[in-house]
Amino acid sequence: MSRHQNIGTGRAAANMALIKYWGKRDTQLYLPTTGSLSLPLTQFVSTTTCEASDDGDVLYLNGVKATTGQHQKAWRVIQQFRALTGQQNSICVRSHNNFPTAQGLASSASGLAALTKAANQYYGTKLAPHLLSMIARQGSGSAARSIERGIMLWHKGRHRDGIDSYAEPIQNSHAILQKLQLAFVTILTPATEKDVSSTVGMRLENYPRSIYNKWVRQNTKDLKEILEAFHQLDLPRIGDITERNFMRLHLLIESAHKPIRYWKEDAPHILGRIRAMRQSGLPAWATMDAGHIVTILTTRTASITVASMCEDFGTTIIHDLTQK
């Protein structure tokens, strides 16, 4: 039996999917209907600690006691470690995000990945990254892609128990990022938390089956093509696939029986600005997760210019993707 440490600490960056995840083939194990691929939002980090508690299990997010929904996601992770070790002692979890929550920036991904790392240290389990990815996935699907940094491929998997559904860096991930010299620019525009959570929004019953199945087929094709483009160091192709993929996701979401819209009024203006940048010769491609915030895929060299050209929309944050 593993013996837990006095305190466990974990840090994880949020991630931005270039090929999106939207829908579960198993809602208990959080198994996706398609594979997906992401890059880290290196400036957006969650730090989480686990320590013994004399007052029962408790979770604090940014210093505030968590809601029931947030609590449930975290304890799905903790229960995996309790099952592995047999230890049932109460714990206190404290998690802090240095970026906005519930606005389409994968705060649950980084938070639950950081929790998984902290619990791994606290319980002394010393699990390999792919096993941590599987545990994090059961708290929040996209958390599977935040255990490690790099070009992260989340395998859809085929097994019903989820043993083959985890995220890992693609072959030569760091070398590819170094050669492409990639960066993200995130535009933080004012808004409240989104009205419909991703968990609710991606329920398969929300969508006409024929439309959803068509999206799955195209998403699978996009994933294959972007992997080829990365290995060929073809940035324009990577960017074009990324932008088309996010647009298709939002078209799918708006096709729901009760249409959902995550976009805000300024999004079309931001997208127009990005197209204008590209027409002027700047490498710049847009993507958005299920939220209102636009992130731009670009290069380190162009990132300062791209950021400055979007400052009238909101605060711009540059993420250097060459960092390990």
How confident is the model at residue 141, as a pLDDT?
Answer: 94
Q: Is the dihedral of CA 14, 20, 23, 25 positive or negative?
A: negative
Contact 88, 2 (CB under 8 A): no
Instruction: Flag whether pLDDT at 1 surpasses 50.
Output: no
Residue 3 has pLDDT above 70, yes or no: no
205: its two tokens: 């019953």
Over residues 179-205, the mean pLDDT reads 88
Give Cα 84 to chain centroid, integer Å: 26
- Assign a CATH topology to domain 7-174: Ribosomal Protein S5; domain 2 (3.30.230)
Lowest-confidence segment of 67-76, 135-144, 176-185 by average pLDDT: 67-76
CA nearest neighbour of 174 among 144, 155, 152, 194: 152
Query: How many residues comprise the chain?
Result: 324
Does the pLDDT value for residue 230 go beyond 70?
Answer: yes
Q: What percent of the chain has pLDDT over 90?
A: 81
Phi, psi for 201 (deg, rounded to 5): -65, -30
pLDDT digits (tens, 9 = 90+) for 41-89: 999 999 999 999 998 899 999 898 887 667 788 999 999 999 999 999 9
Model confidence band, residue 100 (pLDDT cutoffs 50, 70, 90): confident
CATH topology of domain 176-320: Alpha-Beta Plaits (3.30.70)
Contact partners, residue 182, CB within 8 Å, separation at least 6: 39, 235, 297, 298, 299, 300, 321, 322
Q: Model confidence over 244-272: pLDDT tens digits?
A: 999 999 999 999 999 888 888 889 999 99
The stretch 5-20 carries a mean pLDDT of 94
Domain boundaries, the chain: 7-174, 176-320
pLDDT tens track for 266-292:
899 999 999 999 999 999 999 999 888
